[in-house]
Amino acid sequence: MSIASSMTINEGQLSAATWLASPNTNKRPEHIRIDTIVIHNISLPPNEFGACGSDGNHYVKALFTNQLDWDAHPYFQTIKGAEVSAHLFIERDGTMTQFVNFNERAWHAGRSSYLGRAECNDYSIGIELEGSDFVPFSAAQYEALANAIVAIYDAYPKTRRHLTGHSDIAPGRKTDPGDCFEWTRLREMVARLLEG
């Protein structure tokens, strides 16, 4: 059995991801269909991967669950009070954590527009990769991401035509997933998985 065939979504949760609920979520507007996937990158502090607080909690996971110690690093003062989340977070080793049910609205895109439609959080699924604009992503991340996308395509078929980056929906404000992100590599991996 392939990884793709064993990764499924049931009632808005990805089988391969650890569940860690974020309070930073709300209901999607009525009659909105999920039809877009947005790829981001994040690292806390910037360009540091796998960093954890004194409690052992990964800083990114702490941010998404409103548990980040704002005094743990000088950079954190610049984002103090931020209430953000993503549906999925993929670490450098491919480990996946889900913070928001796919059927609910995660707070990942901010002020945004895609194909003339504002408020991308309303109709998109947000996936954060642990990384930065300036460091290549790992093979494990591409594998996890491609498999997650195929599972999302299966559960939410309208997303098949709308895979985009944060920089595309918030140009001038956001630059992620960055120049190091290999879109062609990802699309080819997804295509191979879809072919079976």
Rounded Cα distance between 141 and 180, Å, is 13
Is the previous residue joined to 23 through a cis bond, with omega within 30 degrees of 0?
A: no
Between CA 68 and CA 73, with CA 108 as vertex, the angle to 5 degrees is: 25
Rounded Cα distance between 69 and 53, Å, is 8
| CA distances for 30 relative to 23, 84, 121, angstroms | 20, 22, 13
Rounded Cα distance between 77 and 66, Å, is 14
- Respond yes or no: is residue 11 known to be catalytic: no
Q: Considering 11, 83, 104, 128, which one is annotated as catalytic?
A: 128
Rounded Cα distance between 146 and 59, Å, is 24
Rounded Cα distance between 68 and 52, Å, is 10
Catalytic residues: 128
